[in-house]
Structure 1
């Protein structure tokens, strides 16, 4: 049986990791903080496996929030893997809404969000962390 909730507190120091809060029962998933773990693949593997285990019976509605202020190049493919799993959930009938909260003026992060939306096929709403406005990036579900 798959755990309904996956929670990992943020770790600080030389190789910080984001706070992870995935709640399968409620369909709420959040990544928050900085992500440049020493071994990104090892850190993200349990998250990807958790999503894979639920793909056969995903929640009917999923809200995925990214609140990453910084992430390493090694984190990028892991984020893509997560988004692709959520796209699988959407193709199996789940209503998936992904939102990436980005600091105003962080054009690089906006570009990355657009790239990941295009590569995953999952639409990502980009919202400002300071102002109440947003834009939609990527392919339609």
Structure 2
């Protein structure tokens, strides 16, 4: 699969889905005008990647300083195929990165983490810049 690299914009995060290494990341803020249009191709590519019989571990690092409700739904749509892959035995780690003291983003990560039984969900606190 081709690597997906999208630069950040004022309303969307930097995306780097390096399927060859199993390293996926999103950083920045997420409140695109059309979340389905932004996240839809990412979800489609992720599903295609997961449907291959490649057992390589996956690490998905999400470091969003802000996201709106439509982005939260899109994130869950990305997370669920990863949880399914983990349930089938594939090593999957989701790293939720939040700034020290950002209780809102930390709590959002804890809410997402509660929906996972098979994928490893790590809460990663970073010092504020």
Give TM-score scaled by structure 2 length.
0.89
Which of residues 8, 31, 36 is equivalent to 1:36?
31
Number of residue-to-residue matches in the alignment: 126
Q: Deviations over 1:99-129 (max 9, x none)?
A: 1111111112111111112235444211111
Give TM-score scaled by structure 1 length.
0.82
Which of residues 3, 21, 42 is equivalent to 1:5?
3
Q: Distance in 2 between matches of 1:22 and 1:115?
A: 24
Residues 80 and 120 of structure 1 are in contact (CA less than 8 Å); yes or no, is this contact kept in structure 2? no
Pair 1:103-2:114 in alignment: no
Q: Distance in 1 between matches of 2:124 and 2:6?
A: 24
Partner residue, 2:63: 67
SS in 2 for 1:31: strand
Cα RMSD of the aligned pairs, angstroms, is: 1.6
Unaligned runs of 5+ in 2: none
Unaligned runs of 5+ in 1: 132-141
Residues 114 and 124 of structure 1 are in contact (CA less than 8 Å); yes or no, is this contact kept in structure 2? no
Residues 25 and 59 of structure 1 are in contact (CA less than 8 Å); yes or no, is this contact kept in structure 2? no
